[in-house]
Structure 1
């Protein structure tokens, strides 16, 4: 397999550590000097500059797209530029894209799976919906085996997103009557799901890559505080939180859903090694 990884940050580098020697891998890098420690071939290119992507055409059997969309707007021109570059010659046979469970929007705490409608509420999630739609249309035209992996909040002890950061910052959580359900995945489990999807996923499928937890956000951070020996976060009303937190922080407190992972377990033959967040703290 000739594999291209686009967006080789923390999760991409965890994927690299999983690859067998038989896989020939290259990484698209906007700034190669920052990734030379990976000891894999680097292709210089910038998703914001489509002309820089010409070297990508026709050289890969599989692509793993882990790069985020831009931070503004409701579309993802980076994904458009990538598929245009890959279409200049024969397209890859397999393509894995890591999207977000944010595409589902608010479900008022209901249990949902991949059949739920996408109700993206924020521009951040709308950009991911656009990327999914671009990739689906391209995959159908080109006959590419596309997998859309929808991930929630990613955490690990050695990366951003660990609850320790928020607890040390003293940021409040909502009181029980206002609280929302939250979803999580350990970075190592997401990396394993990415690799499994390249190998065995059914084409044109969305899969929720989440752990087995089903917990409200305040309870999640209370447990984290108790586990880590830190003070529990203060509980506030939704109105008080709006005055204390940034609009982006509040956006995560405005959506509540419990997301099932049965399809990923069944079709990828994947099990999270960290089924509950506390097992990965």
Structure 2
């Protein structure tokens, strides 16, 4: 006989997840997990608090560049999704370095009886981070602290169209890529040595890095670019790009929380060979828009933004065997053309 529990008791029993940087991708993850987990979402914008609350999260107002606020995240959840990017300048990522250092430390004991260390002792006022550090995951009898870091395939730089696996060394050509490499290293190396872990009674540390290519979705297609008539590279100078549909990315991030191997790198990509110009042409054809003009590289460079041009200078193809074999993710949109065919079905 099942005895219904009070609503607050059901909430208390749910495992906790902390999402740091809850933008578009984070909202897709939140949509999947809000009913099954107690999700905390960190944002630096007060304007986003109602949106996050309406989506089922407990919104936390905090700044990754403020070390005093980061300390209060310790012990809040045994699972963490780090979706926030590095700063826009510099060679490293002090945000990841500081946050990893905070999360790996043992949380101090709360001034409450052990039996009373439930969620009721966690106080969140005005959606700001005010929870006192406590035993966290250890107090709840949880196992490993798992952090999934959302990185980028830009860490490889220009591979001249070669096919890359997760064991291919990173060779970033831009400061943006170098910052990501430093962030990955901060998370993967944050776990203490086994002897020190046992001495301090720390939980095991598991960091999983997802290297993510271009994200697309029904509401994330380059339609405005196509309407503006911006050019594509001529076929002889075009580059290979890689893609993942945002819903599939959310599923990969969720799978990494539970199935990701410690300190492992996984390509969250569909594994398809597709050149950038062919991607623009496919979207244009599906949406009933004119194809972009095909121009030599020098003319394209003069017409597009510096950020866009930097992407047009890197060509690589990604293997995604670990996504299927280790995370056991079966993509619902295995290619861009598959997704476009679903979103823009041909008229009968």
* Alignment partners' CA distance in 2, 1:107 and 1:8: 31
1:59 partnered with 2:76: yes
Q: Aligned residue pairs: how many? A: 279
1:68 partnered with 2:85: yes
1:10 partnered with 2:24: yes
The answer for the alignment partner of 2:128 in structure 1 is: none
Shift of 1:246: 2.4
1:101-140 → structure 2 map (5 Å cutoff): 101-140=153-192
* Alignment partners' CA distance in 1, 2:106 and 2:191: 14
1:155 partnered with 2:216: yes
Residues 32, 42 of structure 1: 8 Å contact kept: no
Relative to the length of structure 1, the TM-score reads 0.94
The answer for the alignment partner of 1:198 in structure 2 is: 257
The answer for the alignment partner of 1:234 in structure 2 is: 293
Task: Give the secondary structure class of the aligned counterpart of 2:326.
Answer: helix
The answer for the alignment partner of 1:49 in structure 2 is: 66
Shift of 1:77: 1.3
Shift of 1:20: 6.3
1:26 partnered with 2:26: no
* C-alpha spacing 1:24/1:221, structure 2 compared with 1 (3 Å): same
Residues 104, 191 of structure 2: 8 Å contact kept: no
Residues 62, 69 of structure 2: 8 Å contact kept: yes
Gaps of 5+ in 2: 1-14, 108-136, 138-143, 198-203, 341-348
Alignment equivalent of 2:227, drawn from 156, 168, 193: 168
Asked which structure has the greater CA Rg, the reply is 2
* C-alpha spacing 1:22/1:216, structure 2 compared with 1 (3 Å): closer
* C-alpha spacing 1:239/1:33, structure 2 compared with 1 (3 Å): closer
Shift of 1:107: 0.9
* Alignment partners' CA distance in 2, 1:138 and 1:96: 13
Deviates more, 1:163-172 or 1:199-208: 163-172
Which fold has the larger relative contact order, with Cα–Cα distance below 8 Å and residues 6 or more apart in sequence? 1
Task: Give the secondary structure class of the aligned counterpart of 1:125.
Answer: helix
* Alignment partners' CA distance in 2, 1:183 and 1:97: 19
* Runs of 4+ more than 6 Å apart: none
Relative to the length of structure 2, the TM-score reads 0.76
Shift of 1:59: 2.0
Deviates more, 1:13-22 or 1:114-123: 13-22
Residues 44, 52 of structure 1: 8 Å contact kept: no
Gaps of 5+ in 1: none
Task: Give the secondary structure class of the aligned counterpart of 1:63.
Answer: strand
* Alignment partners' CA distance in 2, 1:172 and 1:140: 50
* Alignment partners' CA distance in 1, 2:177 and 2:191: 21
CA-to-aligned-CA distance 1:23-57 (integer Å, 9 cap, x gap): 22211121244132332212221001112222101
